Structure formats: C-alpha cells, structure tokens
A and B are shown apart, each in its own frame.
Chain A
Amino acid sequence: MSEHGDQTGNEWRAWTDAVRDPFRAFWTTTNELLIGQQLAPLLEVVREAAARERTPDPAAMHQALAPLRAQLDQTFQQFTRTLDWARPLHQAMQPDGPDDASPPPAWLRPWLDLVSARLGPWHEQQARQQQLIEAGLDYQAALADYTKQVRQSALEALDRLVDNLATTPLEAIDMHQLEARYLEAAEQAWEARIATTAYRQAFASVSNAGLAYTRSLQTHLDHWLGLLDLPTRRGLQSTQRRLHELRRAHRALATEMDADVAGLRDEVRSLREEVRRLKAASEQQSQGGRGA
C-alpha cells in the first residue's frame, strides 16, 4: 500500500473508532432504558416515600435520575460531535486555509489549493464538489439543531416524570407502572416540543437541508453519467415530462372529440326530425293530390 493509502486507511480507522463510541453509548442507553435498569433508583425513592406515606421528594427523585440525565446528555453530545466529521475538510477548502488545529492531510493539499482558487479546466466540476461539501455541512448543522430539539425533549421528559410522580404518586408502584409513567411523560414532552416554533423550524431546516444535499449529489452523479453516455436522471425526467404532456394532449383531444360527437349526434337528431317532418308533409301532400 502507498504512503497516501496508509494515511487514508489510518484516517478512516480513526473516524470509525470515533463513531463507534457514540453509537455504543446510544445503544447502551436505549437498551438500559428498555429493561428499566436506569429507572431502578427512582423506583426506590418512590417506594420509600410510599412506605412512609409521604409524597416523593422531587429533589430526591431528580438525584435518582441524575445518572440517566447525564447518560442522555452524553449520548446526544457524542452524536452531535460525530456529525462534525467533515468540518476539517471544509475548513481546508476555504481561501484562508485550515485552522492550525486541524490541518488537512499533506497529499490533499495541491488539490485543495486548486479547488480554493477555482482555476483550471475542471473548475466547474470543482465548484460542484465544493457545493456538495457545503450542502453536506449545512445538512450536518441542521441535523445537529434537530438533535438539540430531541435532546431537549428527552430531558424535559424526566422533569415531567418527577412532576407527575410528585403530584400523583401511586401507593404501590412497580417497575412496569413506572415505565408506563415514564413513557407517558416522554410522550407529553414530545408532543409539547413538536408544537413549538423552534421544533417546526428545526424540522423544516433538516428536511430542506437533507433535500439540498441529495440534490447536490444527484447533480454531481448526473454529470459523470452524462460524460459516460449512461442514462441520467435529467434524461429520464424529460422523457417522463413528455409522456405526461402527451397524456394531457390525448385527454384534451378526447374531450374535444366527445364534444364534437355530441354536437354531431344533436345535428343528426335534428336532421332526422326534419326528414321525418318533410316525409310527413310530402305524404300529406301526395294524399291531398290523390284526393283531388
């Protein structure tokens, strides 16, 4: 393997290592939540209060939930950090160059210089690449904002759970009931969250940015497919559009023909009527003539 290949391989491995931890943390949190392990300390607090025939103390409940809160927080932070993987590449492509903290790999430098300067026979292509990377970064930023909304909802669910238990405690609560209460609190927190303007905006941003990124990828791919004279999205779309126009033209023609046929039917009907009248008149005339 070449020196560059080694370097790329190492960077890839470093990235996969960096990604593995947040995903493992996310899975562990989810799994532990599913089996109720994280709620066990809270159950103790609620049961102790019930044994003393008192309302559970909110401060004690918050304390019991502190490890879960910390784990949720950490999971979201790690997830957000994972989304940042392409930022060094983008910074490297800026005219001012990368910041010293994250220099690009040496083998990438000459290409990056050309891209930044937008020179040479492939500068259009390079501009498309730049746009693709920017669209990717916009998407990452939007996804990070959206993740903040989800995080906020997850943390609000814990507050709601404590409020709920403090105001309407159960006399004999078991883990299953506690999980049901937690689910209810999570649902209420989520419903309140998605009704906010902040969530609506984050949802629209992540959707629009995701679409823009995909669109950029399509443009990029279409360019290369076109160079190879392979079927492109653009070509397919124009065929579909023409087909649709033909379908509409056919429909208009059919409507026009229906109207024409209806008109002709009316005309034939009135002509038949006229012929019938003329026949009747002529018969009457010939009978009159014979009578005379």
Chain B
Amino acid sequence: MTAADSPGSQGPHPNQEALKAALRECAALQPVPVGETPRQVVRELPPATLYHYPAEPEGSTPTTGKRPLLVLYSLVNRPYLLDLSPQRSMIRGARDAGLPVYLLDWGRPEPADRFLGLDDYLNDTLHQAIVELSKRHQGQPVDLLGVCQGGTFALCYAALEPARVGRIATLATPVDFHTPEDTLSGLARDLQLDLAVETLGNIPADLLNLVFISLKPAELLSRRYLEQLPQLRARPDALREFLRMERWMYDSPDLGGQVFLEFVRAFYQDNALTRGRLQIGERPVDLSRLHHPVYNAYATRDHLVPAAAAAALARLLPAAVDYQEEAIPGGHLGVMLSRKARQGLHQRLWQWLAQPLPSPARR
C-alpha cells in the first residue's frame, strides 16, 4: 500500500493538498459578483420589486411596442440564478434577443409580511405588476416566463386573468405534486403547517436549506466540497462560477409564513391544482380556462421537480391550446444554467416568445 492509499497513518490525502489550495484561491476571489446585467426599478411593491432590463446599447431599437416579458421566479431562492454571471444569464440572453425583459423579484419578506398569502402575492402584487407593464406597452398582454414555483404562479395567474396574459413559458415547473418520485412532496405530506407558521412566523431560510440539502447530502456536501472543489484549483473562471453558485445556494430569503402554509397545503398536501380544486382569494383556478400558447420545459433527472410533475401540465390544458414540451437531460438547475440549455432550449424559447399571438379566434 502506498502512502497515498493510507493517508490516515502515513501522510495527507492527495485531495487534501488540492483542497487547501482551492480554499486559498476561493478566499482571494471572494466576494464574487452576481446579477450584473444593468436594470432599473419600475415599481416597488413591498416586499417585491418590479425591474426592467433595458436593451443595450442605449438608443437601440425601442422595445415598448413589443409585448413585455415578465420573469417570475420561485419564492424560496433569489432570482439572480437567472443572471448568475454574464456568461450564464438567461435574462441577458432574453434581453439580447430583443425581448423587453422585466423581473418581478419577490424580495425578502420581513416579519411584518408573515400574513401575506397567495391572494396577496398573485391577485395583488403580481396583478399590479402586470397592469403596470401592460400600460407601459400600449395595453398589450404580458408574456410570462415562470421558473420552478414561479411557473406555477404564472399558470395560476393566467387562469385567473386570462385576458391579461400573452404567451406562457414554464421551466422546471411543478404542476402535479403527487407523482410517486416526488420526495419533497412526501416529506411535506404530514407536516403540521399551522403549528409551523404559528411557531416560526416566516419560515427561516436556513431551515428550508437544510431540507433541500437533506435530499442529496452526499452530492451537496461531500462530493461538492471534497471532490469538485479541489478539481477547480488553478481554474479561476470555473472557481468563480462555483462561488457564484455557492453564494446563490445559501443566500435564500425567509419564506413568508402564510404563503408557505397556503402553498404547501394547497399544492403539496392537497394537490389542488391538478385536482381542479384550487382557489386563490376565493376565486377558482381552473387550468382549462387557459387558451394561451404554452412552452413547458423540464429536466429529466430533477430531484426537486420530477419530470412527471412538470409534464402533467399537458393533460390539464384544453386540447386546443398550442402546447410545446421539451425534456432537457440533467437536473433542476441545468434547465436554466447548462451550456446545452443556453445554446438550445433558450434560443428556441426566445424565438417562440417573439412570435405574435395567435388571432383571438384561434386562441
């Protein structure tokens, strides 16, 4: 047996030296910037903020005559995943494709926001953002690009206010929350949600992160830090991307108490959207009301939103809907970040979103 084979007794593990070096390089690169695409605040809707990503260079073709694209992200993480670095930015990609891009950042709920429910988020905040954008774009309907839970919100809003929405694109979006391989749903099934919200108020981000880590501890802890990180030594660009992802993973907002309760109960526990029983603000959410063109992309090996949970959308939409579906090989984040998705799916998506809406008779 060589020294390297028996590191405990005969010397340091070969990876340990690489790890030490990589850690020193990490320290030198920190803090890494994220969300660098220039943007302007359109409207504050506390705790949310509506942003616009103006076209570059300034003075290029104005986009106000086009249908606006509103990006909706999940409540549980920060939306700069979609603008992680200039090289890996969905938002920059959409903007450079000539789309008028807006983002509704749900923000970081304060303790005083604990009673905001789905009704407040969708029928107030999102609704106001959409009305505002429609006004800025000559009363046109607004296209929605929903990512993960943001996609679920996009579908619900479109069902509530069909006339205000144009095209709908959903990425890694759960629709059926009771598919057999949905581990997250299994864990949520027996939680006492009232007790959780009564006790914790807003649900601490650290707690949610622990649950997410517990789904894949070997990959997210051991493999990530002990195998992947040492391999990034002396590769500053790759290391910077690693650190950006690291920053995003644990820079999570707390989750508003009431909206957590309502979302987990209605979607994860009751699967109300799929069963046609969902109500938001006492208004029924019926996906069969959707007449909009829909592009639904999901990952084949997603441990958070199983492929079947996302693909279920196809059977809930009316048959006449112009529906396109794309399965991307890989995991949850790959749909937004992978090179393959950026060069393939995203390009197709920008082209699809730039198309005019079908005539009302066909919609």
Q: Which residues of A contact B (CB under 8 A)?
A: 32, 34-37, 40, 43-44, 174-176, 180, 183-184, 186-187, 190-191, 194-195, 200-201, 203-204, 207-208, 211-212, 214-215, 218, 236-237, 240-241, 243-244, 248, 251
Residue of B14, B120, B214, B219 touching A194 (CB-CB under 8 A)? B214
Of B124, B189, B199, the residue contacting A218 (CB under 8 A) is: B199
CB-nearest residue of chain A to B186: A200
The answer to whether A44 touches B1, judged by C-beta atoms less than 8 angstroms apart, is yes
- Contact between A201 and B190, CB atoms less than 8 A apart: yes
Q: Is the CB of A211 within 8 A of B199?
A: yes
A-B Cβ contacts below 8 A, count: 96
Whether A183 pairs with B189 at a CB distance below 8 angstroms is no
B43 → A minimal CB distance (Å): 14
Chain B residues closer than 8 Å to A251, beta-carbon distance: 124
Please state if B183 and A194 are interface contacts (CB–CB under 8 Å).
yes
CA distance A251 to B119 in the complex (A): 12
B298 to chain A, nearest CB (A): 20
A187 touches B218 (CB 8 A): yes
- In chain B, what residue has the closest Cβ to A251? B124
What's the Cα separation between A207 and B204 when bound, in Å? 14
- From known contacts A200-B186, A204-B191, infer whether A240 and B114 are also in contact, taking CB-CB under 8 Å: yes
A211 to chain B, nearest CB (A): 5
A199 to chain B, nearest CB (A): 9
Interface residues of B in 1-49 (CB under 8 A from A): 1, 4-9, 13-16
State the Cβ distance, A275 to closest chain B Cβ, in Å.
Answer: 27
Contacts A208-B192, A211-B192 given; indicate if A200 touches B6 (C-beta within 8 A): no
- With A240-B115, A251-B124 known as contacts, the answer to whether A36 contacts B7 (CB < 8 A) is yes
Q: Which residues of A contact B227 (CB under 8 A)?
A: 180, 183
Q: How far is the CB of B72 from chain A (nearest CB, A)?
A: 20
B80, chain A: closest CB distance, angstroms: 27
20 residue pairs bridging A and B, Cβ less than 8 Å apart:
A35-B8, A37-B7, A37-B8, A40-B1, A40-B8, A44-B1, A175-B4, A175-B6, A175-B13, A183-B227, A184-B218, A190-B217, A194-B186, A200-B189, A201-B190, A215-B195, A237-B201, A240-B114, A243-B112, A244-B115
